């Protein structure tokens, strides 16, 4: 069976010669929590305290935003992160955005989305949802979306480095490990596998072949 990684150790090469740029390419798993939990809290504070949204609409739109993240996660992973533009520049861009993670899947500092990538995406999605739904609902929808993103980042780190026992999370971990080590052209969901089932990108490996990494 083909090898789909370069090193399975907690390591990866420097991405840039510039030390300042290279420092921003490595992220501790806790950084998204410090960055985005206050954002969620502030958005909900505004939605309730300033715009007066009720509890049931708040919960409903939060869940809707969370579900929207699972779809965005699938689309981004499948069509953006796994797309390699032609030429040397395209290959380089792909390596920076996602290829390094597949080549060095156990590097603990390349498992959550770097802020220089996540912050522009957050600005785009928040602006889109406020434009679509108005300020109060848009803030809540975006909050649910960000909670979904945080679940993705934290689960992604855990799948690579935690000893997971819970059957549901173990199933999600196995799904992601098969994507890395056996079939990178399928299994694009990380925090959820529902969209892989909907769009037919589940794995076609036999059970006996589903050997996951340590």
d(CA 189, CA 152): 9
Residue 3 class from Cβ within 10 Å (0-12 exposed, 13-18 middle, 19+ buried)? exposed
pLDDT digits (tens, 9 = 90+) for 163-173: 999 999 999 99
d(CA 75, CA 181): 21
- Tell which wins on pLDDT, 15 or 38: 38
Looking at residue 207, the DSSP 8-state letter turns out to be: G
* pTM for the model: 0.90
93 pLDDT tier (thresholds 50, 70, 90): confident
Domain boundaries of the chain, sorted by first residue: 27-209
The two tokens of residue 41 are: 């809290």
């Amino acid at each position: 069976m083909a090898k789909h990684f370069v090193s399975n150790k907690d390591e990866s090469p420097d991405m840039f010669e510039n030390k300042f740029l290279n420092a921003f390419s490595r992220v501790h798993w806790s950084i998204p929590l410090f960055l985005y939990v206050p954002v969620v809290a502030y958005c909900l504070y505004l939605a309730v305290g300033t715009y007066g949204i009720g509890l049931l609409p708040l919960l409903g739109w939060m869940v809707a935003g969370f579900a929207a993240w699972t779809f965005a996660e699938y689309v981004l992973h499948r069509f953006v992160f796994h797309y390699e533009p032609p030429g040397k520049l395209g290959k380089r861009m792909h390596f920076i955005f996602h290829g390094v993670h597949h080549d060095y899947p156990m590097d603990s500092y390349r498992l959550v989305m770097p802020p220089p990538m996540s912050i522009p995406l957050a600005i785009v999605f928040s602006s889109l949802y406020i434009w679509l739904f108005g300020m109060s609902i848009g803030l809540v929808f975006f909050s649910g979306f960000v909670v979904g993103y945080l679940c993705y980042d934290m689960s992604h780190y855990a799948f690579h480095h935690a000893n997971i026992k819970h059957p549901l999370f173990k199933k999600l971990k196995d799904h992601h490990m098969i994507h890395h080590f056996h079939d990178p052209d399928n299994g694009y969901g990380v925090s959820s596998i529902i969209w892989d089932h909907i769009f037919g990108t589940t794995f076609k490996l036999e059970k006996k072949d589903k050997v996951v990494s340590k």
